A = this chain, B = another copy of it.
Amino acid sequence: MLFHQRAKMQGHELVEGYTGRFVHGEAITVAHWDVVAGNRIPSHAHHHEQIVNCLEGTFDMTVGEETFRMTAGDTVIVPPDVEHSALAVTDCRCLDVFTPVRDDYRL
């Protein structure tokens, strides 16, 4: 299926305050996140390259030892196997991209 309409996609709250809608291509997964202020993603790592895009709100991304304060239109690259964590400073919308596909997000 090529066309994925938000209105028809179910959200999944994978971490408290982080509700995602996921689209999987052959080699890319896109995750559309709605995030509630004050909630954190604990530090973790994975073999996928990840690119985080802040669409709305203020979102702190920590990659390795550095923390980046993101606002709308900002992008952070998370290289493969690098520890990262996050904090929603305000309510946010974020769009994450992964390669290869996140099979654990096939829900």
Q: Could you tell me which A residues sit within 8 Å of B by CB distance? A: 1-7, 21, 23, 25-28, 30, 32, 49, 51, 53, 55, 63, 66, 68, 72-80, 95, 97, 99
Residues of chain B within 8 A (CB-CB) of A5 are 73-74
Q: Which of A1, A26, A72, A73 has the most CB of B within 10 A?
A: A73
Q: How many copies does the complex hold?
A: 2
Residues of chain B within 8 A (CB-CB) of A75 are 3-4, 6, 23, 30, 32
CA distance A7 to B69 in the complex (A): 13
Residues of chain B within 8 A (CB-CB) of A66 are 2-3
CA distance A56 to B4 in the complex (A): 15
The answer to whether B49 touches A4, judged by C-beta atoms less than 8 angstroms apart, is no
